[in-house]
Amino acid sequence: MIEKKRLTNGFEYIEIENSYAKAKIALQGAHLFYYKNNASSSPLMWTSNSTFFEEGKAIRGGVPICFPWFGKLKEKPELPQHGFARVSPWEVVAQEEKEDGSTVVRLELINNKKHFSVWGYLFKLQLEIVVAKSLEMRLMIENLDVKSFEISTAFHSYFSVSDVTRVEIKGLENRRYYDALDGKLYEQKMKFQVDKEIDRVYFNSKNPLDLMDTHRTITLTSKGSNSLVVWNPWVEKSHQMKDMCDDGYKNMLCLETGNVMEDRVIVEPKKKHLLELMVQEH
């Protein structure tokens, strides 16, 4: 089943339900904000109970698409954090319920005058989402311009966990990372643990990567990605965010696969870059 729906305020989204899973995708941002495998007792993705489902406001949770920059743009800090793709309206260009029981939806974002005035390049984005026993996402970034451009992109995935202080991540051992909280570089020597605010960019993390919760393991397999951002706002920052419930930090952890900082990607004219993510529960 693929059904287009809207909230009372007119906010549009697609609801998908098949023999494997159920998912919800907002047309704004091509933003998958709900996915639950039928065999699982809890959703895979975490979304804040206080988030905004409103035009022009980013959804707190799920899988925001960061493009064409990650974080704040230093040259123009007044522009949207993580770029404009996640707050722009996308168009559904294809949808299919396949014989194997999976569902495929493709959404597209093509530059317009507003995007060009902000960024100055011609581009096309196409996101393919496969809802099946596993969740698959493929972001194709195409340079339609006559000059190359540099991008910093990510699947800003918010994963639902039972208790963030008890999770482990396998694959970060001995990996170099940048700590955004103090601006320094470190190497992961000790066991990964969340007991305070965390905001790190890991370089050359292992693939696949395992997020080990008390009741399940979530395995991330990525392609076209060299960076992993790990983020949890903890207590104080959660209180400062209007779209974050005060204790929401306890049950979420962002593992964001992409290309940020020194891993930024240059896309030549008429060329493409593909960012892929597959998530499995077991």
pLDDT, mean over the chain: 95
**What class has domain 2-281?**
mainly beta
* pLDDT band for position 206 (cuts 50, 70, 90): confident
* pLDDT band for position 77 (cuts 50, 70, 90): confident
Query: pTM of the predicted model, to two decimals?
Result: 0.96
Cα 255 to Cα 54, 75, 95, 111, 210: the distances in Å are 25, 26, 27, 28, 10
Query: For 35-64, what is the mean pLDDT?
Result: 94
pLDDT at 205 over 80: no
Query: For 191-204, what is the mean pLDDT?
Result: 93
pLDDT at 27 over 80: yes
CA geometry: angle at 91 spanning 43 and 220, to 5°? 35
Amino acid, res. 76: K
- The pLDDT tens digits for 117-139 are 999 999 999 999 999 999 999 99
Q: Is the alpha carbon torsion for 255, 244, 11, 280 positive or negative?
A: positive
The pLDDT of residue 3: 96
Query: Is 204 in contact with 175 (CB distance < 8 Å)?
Result: yes
